[in-house]
Structure 1
Amino acid sequence: MAVDFTIAADVFAGLVAKIDKVVERRNTIPILSNVHVQAEVDGTLLIKGTDLDLEMHTTTEIAAEVQTAGATTVPQKLLADILRKLGKNQVRFKADETNATVSAGRSSFKLLTLPDADYPEIKGVHDKDAVEFALPKARLRRILNDCGFAISSEETRYYLNGVFLHAVDGRLVSVATDGHRLAKLEQEAIGSIGEMPGVIVPTKAVRLFKEMTDWTPEGEDIAIRVDTSKIEFSATGFRLLSKLIDGTFPDYQRVIPTGNPNRMMVDPEAMQGAVDRVATVSSERGRAVKLTLADGTMTLTVQSPDAGIGTDEIAVEMAQPFDLELGFNAKYVNDALGTFPFARVEFALGEPGSPAVIRNPNDEHRLVVLMPMRV
């Protein structure tokens, strides 16, 4: 279909760039590398991209000067690169059935198009079954920051390749685990989520939480609609629709210890530094760091058969004196500590073979569980 409009290049570029992390560069369906460009009679410019699992729509309040309303599809990366280099100049976009011309001043580019009628579309959230609520920007970003690091990348257990969202006592609970570590976060939502089904939001959608909060205007919340198969996030200027993972998330409550008696307070930055230093002796991924706890001191040890031994010590505050020796994956320890930007965190420890629970002592609604390693 033909389309012809003029708009500032930087405005157009901003809309196309937002599609970047949705569109796949390499795929067996050529049109999925394209972005769908649509101009309405009233000057509304709509940009859409999809990978068949995610679908992103972007628009702007700045009206285009539309000569011919219509739509087409062009290569997303190529269009984004061209628009970015045209600065703030007015750009004319004109397309017919086979080509699109992007021109500004003396610059002109001709791009191949594919029919807009062939562009795939994901069926939206079912209105009848939808649960609707909203989250302030900071709360949506917390799901990524506090749980995202624990998402599994193991394809055989595909049901762990995302964040499990569900309602507990009217609060939104987010959980991620890869079987070696688990992160859980409870937050208040705006609106009723009592009927919300438990759903698994895939990793690719979760990774876009940061971008969506950056795009959302200050003071505006992000609206969320969800049914049993899809979830939609929207605010001024964008709408993201994502398919959900069709699987059953495990009963995560069973792996959260409730009776670990050995409790201590740690400076997370000091512990991160010590773990990083002792792990220097090993190039092996997943090397265990041994923690020896006694008399208010944590001794950290990493041993490598090829390089030697690294040790370090930091002070800890024990609720009651205890002696304990146990091991954890050094990378997982530092990943978890990096999500606690506080002066102190609490470790609740049990027997050497028991999982550890890490919390901010001032936040009862968030925790991380680390599974132990043999040392």
Structure 2
Amino acid sequence: MPTTATAMKIVCDRTALADAVSLVSGVVASRSPSPVLQCLRLTAGNGQLRLSATDLEIGIAQSIDEVDVQHEGEVLVPADKLSQIVKASDDPTLTLEANGDRLRIRGQGSNWSLHGFPVSEAPEVEDFDENITADYEVPGVILRKQIQRTLFAAANEQSRYAINGVLFERSGQTLRCVATDGRRLALSTCSCEKTTDEDGNTIVPSKALQLLGKLLDSRSQGEVRVSVRDGKARFGIGHGSRSATITSTLVEGSFPPWSDVVPKDNDIHITMDTSSLAGAVRRAALLTSQESRGVKLTFSSGSLVITSRAPDTGEAEIRVDCNYDGVELGIGFNPGYLTDALKIIDSPDITLSLKGPQKPGVLKADGEFVYVVMPVSLD
């Protein structure tokens, strides 16, 4: 690939370009003291267009092959303006010509000239090439599910830096992903194909996994190669002209001993229809307030009643069938925390394990998902 700005000329499928620009722009900071960190680097060569960007902590590179490379070259241009131009056009193809630090974009009856920066000023974004050894591989569709089932529970408070991400815990051919914000914990387990014998724990930042999840939404087929080296995690998807790489610095610090958080003595197990429970929680949550954020789940023989109350507004009572057969039991939960978990579970049934009204509840699905949630007081 060229390393300096040259007279690049390509004809590119606009939809493919728009999707790639949107994805790679996700790493670009809205504000930065360095203008080049708000730019995308476009490199044309070998029958493909490579787009890359970085915020110095996370880097992403994606290649597309829906392009006719007439002259190889590269250019560095502002991500937001390029994205706006590509989205605004309704042409099936766009011609991109770069000369020096300027990019000209042409459609049918439309012309834009975009001022850029010297390519030499752009930080390098690496590819997951043959020089990088994968520690393990996971099918893309499985890794996407792992991310969906855990990322929502990660903390987003700067004061709790060590849990502002997802723990990737690999032991042999088992990969566990764990996230917590101190009030709930999500655990998802899957199999992986190990390529090295060294086990390890890695905390991947939430932003990197959000980008990886979006990337896997568009191309989840095939294996994702994962490598952890030199304080960075690297995720490689695809090969050649359809490849993509996300590189991220790791979250520093020690993840809490999550296995201590999962209750071992919950002896009340209630199985319910996932969709019915999710709908009931959503309906009950309509009448909660800042003062009374919780919903109460009251179990009696064969029935669950979910109630809520908002002062000066009203009350709600929703009934759901369940297989409970015991003495009446009531427990309060934050409905948002329940909904967050229920909406990402694709299993038809879910099991709620309880010990008592003051003890954490545990949701389990398909033998691979565990969700611990703290109760709330409804007094």
TM-score (norm 2): 0.88
Counterpart selection for 1:252 from 250, 258, 261: 258
Q: What is the letter of the counterpart of residue 102 of structure 1?
A: I
Distance 1:101 1:364 in 2: 54
Counterpart selection for 2:99 from 90, 95, 100: 95
2:196 aligned with 1:185, yes or no? no
Q: Give the share of equivalent positions with the same residue, in percent.
A: 26
CA displacement, residues 287-308 of structure 1 (integer Å, 9 cap, x when unaligned): 1111222222222221233323
Deviates more, 1:343-352 or 1:187-196: 187-196
CA displacement, residues 7-60 of structure 1 (integer Å, 9 cap, x when unaligned): 2242544433331212223322211111112233x4443221112221111223
CA displacement, residues 54-83 of structure 1 (integer Å, 9 cap, x when unaligned): 11112233564343x433211112223323
Distance 2:286 2:343 in 1: 18
> 1:172·1:193 contact (CA, 8 Å) conserved in 2?
no
> 1:286·1:331 contact (CA, 8 Å) conserved in 2?
no
> 2:227·2:234 contact (CA, 8 Å) conserved in 1?
yes
Distance 1:129 1:48 in 2: 18
Moved over 6 A (4+): 123-129
Q: What is the letter of the counterpart of residue 223 of structure 1?
A: R
Deviation (angstroms), 1:335: 1.6
Deviates more, 1:175-184 or 1:99-108: 99-108
- C-alpha spacing 1:217/1:256, structure 2 compared with 1 (3 Å): closer
2:223 aligned with 1:221, yes or no? yes
Q: What is the letter of the counterpart of residue 307 of structure 1?
A: T
Deviation (angstroms), 1:180: 1.1
> 2:168·2:204 contact (CA, 8 Å) conserved in 1?
yes
2:86 aligned with 1:83, yes or no? yes
Q: What is the letter of the counterpart of residue 94 of structure 1?
A: A
Distance 1:121 1:343 in 2: 46
Distance 1:100 1:169 in 2: 49
2:316 aligned with 1:313, yes or no? no
| Equivalent in the alignment of 2:371 | 368
| Equivalent in the alignment of 1:135 | 138
| Equivalent in the alignment of 1:359 | 364
> 1:175·1:185 contact (CA, 8 Å) conserved in 2?
yes
Distance 1:129 1:73 in 2: 26
Distance 1:234 1:173 in 2: 19
- C-alpha spacing 1:297/1:30, structure 2 compared with 1 (3 Å): same
| Equivalent in the alignment of 2:215 | 212
> 2:132·2:227 contact (CA, 8 Å) conserved in 1?
no
Counterpart selection for 2:283 from 277, 290, 313: 277
Counterpart selection for 2:156 from 153, 158, 161: 153
Gaps of 5+ in 1: none
Distance 2:77 2:164 in 1: 31
2:69 aligned with 1:65, yes or no? yes
TM-score (norm 1): 0.89
> 1:197·1:227 contact (CA, 8 Å) conserved in 2?
no
Distance 1:92 1:169 in 2: 47
2:171 aligned with 1:168, yes or no? yes
Matched residue of 2:114: which SS? strand
Matched ranges for 1:98-137 at <5 A: 99-121=102-124, 131-137=134-140
| Equivalent in the alignment of 1:56 | 60
Matched residue of 1:102: which SS? strand
Gaps of 5+ in 2: none
Matched residue of 1:317: which SS? coil
Distance 1:299 1:355 in 2: 19
- C-alpha spacing 1:194/1:372, structure 2 compared with 1 (3 Å): farther
> 1:327·1:373 contact (CA, 8 Å) conserved in 2?
yes
- C-alpha spacing 1:60/1:260, structure 2 compared with 1 (3 Å): same
Distance 2:58 2:272 in 1: 41
CA displacement, residues 123-145 of structure 1 (integer Å, 9 cap, x when unaligned): 78999996522111211111122
| Equivalent in the alignment of 2:29 | 24
- C-alpha spacing 1:199/1:228, structure 2 compared with 1 (3 Å): farther
RMSD: 2.6
Matched residue of 1:18: which SS? helix
Deviates more, 1:322-331 or 1:347-356: 322-331
